Structure formats: C-alpha cells, structure tokens
C-alpha cells in the first residue's frame, strides 16, 4: 500500500521559492511510490482558532474542532497521511500568516496526559525560505515550530532552510529597504548556483520520507 504525503504550502505565491521546494519534496515522494497532494493554504476559506477549548472538553474528546470551514476536511487528510510537509517563507521573522492560521487550528492534536488523536509514527517536514543569508537567523522559530509539532504527536521533523532568496518581482534595488550594495547580483548568483542544490535536497527529502 502506497504512503500518503500531503503538503501544506503556506506562501501566497504560486511557483515561488517555497512552492518550488515543496513541489520537489512531493516529486521525490512520488518517485518513491507515494500518493501526494499539494494544498495552497492561502486559498482556504477558514477562521483562526477561537481559543474556545471545545476540542478539549471531555464530552467532545476526539471530535476535533467545533468550527466548520475549509479546515474541516483537511483534518481527515492530515490524519490519514503518513507524512505532512509544512512549507513557508519567513515573514516578519516567523512563518506566513496563511500557514500560522492552519497550525493554530491544529490545537485539537495537542497531547494531554500522554494522549493525542494523531496515530503514532506520523512523519513531517518543515520547508522554510528566507531572504537573509544567515541560515540560523530564525533558528529559534524553526526549532520552536518543530517542537510544537512534536507536542501534537508528529515525529521530530526534518527541516530544510533555503537562504538568500528573492521572493518578489523585480530586484532589491527597486525597494525602499536597506539592502547592501550588490545585493541583486548576489541573490541572482545564489539563485543560479545554490537554489538548485536546495531543490535537490528537497527532492531527496521527499524520497527519504516516503521510503521509510
């Protein structure tokens, strides 16, 4: 029986850096025989977590979130998947608002008293892209996100961070933002030489996760 891999793509830009890497993970997983699905979470019509704790009330134990929206069918897909991939660019030093909305709605999976609704052995991966050069600059957020997923019952995630990306049309020179001289040339060179390596890493990650 083939494994199921679902990817939650948190960038609002289709075919951008994050989307490209997430698709490479799925391509690798498909080559390993997995059934794959890509979800652009920016297209979902859903509310944020209301903090009502309905999902944790004893009489509703195991019934999940009380809200009914596009997140409702996604719960079942996450529960049935063998691997869940979370992808996001770094916005304001954290994951995108689009992906954060989904992650917050995973509160029903938080383990209490050693028990949680997710089956054991569910693997996951984190794909992050950032326009800064230091891969450890946002490491605190990446590490905390990985820990949060483990609190939900996922296994420790594999993490891929792609740095020095250009995520908007144009170049750094067109923006009224503090960029060092030569940033455009450096980023374009990085896109040509290093980003393909990140794509290969993502592809191998997908094969590895689906093949375990």
pLDDT tens digits, one per residue of 97-113? 999 999 999 999 998 87
Please compute, for residue 92, the number of CA atoms within 13 A of its CA located in the half-sphere on the CB side. 4
Mean pLDDT of 108-133: 90
pLDDT score of 181: 66
What pLDDT score was predicted for residue 100?
97
Interval 181-200 mean pLDDT: 85
User: What pTM value is reported for the model?
Assistant: 0.92
Range of the domain at 58: 4-211
Residue 3 has a CB neighbour count (10 Å cut-off) of 18
Report phi then psi at 194, rounded to 5. -95, -35
Quick: pLDDT tens for 63-91. 789 999 999 999 999 999 999 999 999 99
Nearest to 6 by CA among 90, 95, 123: 123
Neighbour-count burial of 152, counting CB atoms closer than 10 A to its CB (0-12 exposed, 13-18 middle, 19+ buried): buried
Give the CATH number, domain containing residue 69: 3.40.50.360
Distance from CA of residue 140 to its chain's centroid? 16
What was the pLDDT predicted at 123? 96
Q: How far apart are CA 68 and CA 47, in angstroms?
A: 9
Tell me how many domains the chain contains: 1
């Amino acid at each position: 029986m083939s494994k199921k891999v679902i990817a939650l793509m948190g960038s609002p830009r289709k075919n951008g850096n994050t989307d490209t890497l997430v698709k490479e993970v799925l391509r690798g997983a498909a080559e390993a025989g997995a059934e794959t699905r890509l979800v652009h979470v920016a297209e979902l019509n859903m509310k944020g977590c209301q903090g009502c704790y309905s999902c944790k009330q004893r009489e509703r134990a195991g019934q999940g979130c009380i809200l009914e929206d596009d997140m409702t069918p996604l719960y079942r897909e996450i529960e049935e998947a063998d691997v869940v991939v979370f992808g996001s660019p770094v916005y304001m030093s954290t994951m995108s608002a689009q992906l954060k909305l989904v992650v917050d709605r995973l509160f029903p999976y938080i383990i209490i008293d050693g028990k949680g609704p997710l089956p054991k052995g569910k693997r996951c991966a984190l794909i992050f892209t950032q326009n800064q050069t230091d891969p450890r600059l946002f490491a605190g957020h990446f590490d905390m996100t990985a820990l949060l997923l483990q609190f939900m019952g996922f296994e420790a995630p594999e993490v891929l961070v792609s740095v020095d990306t250009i995520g908007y049309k144009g170049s750094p020179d067109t923006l009224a933002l503090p960029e060092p001289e030569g940033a455009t040339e450096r980023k374009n060179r990085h896109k040509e030489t290093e980003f393909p390596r990140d794509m290969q890493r993502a592809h191998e990650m997908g094969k590895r996760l689906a093949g375990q």
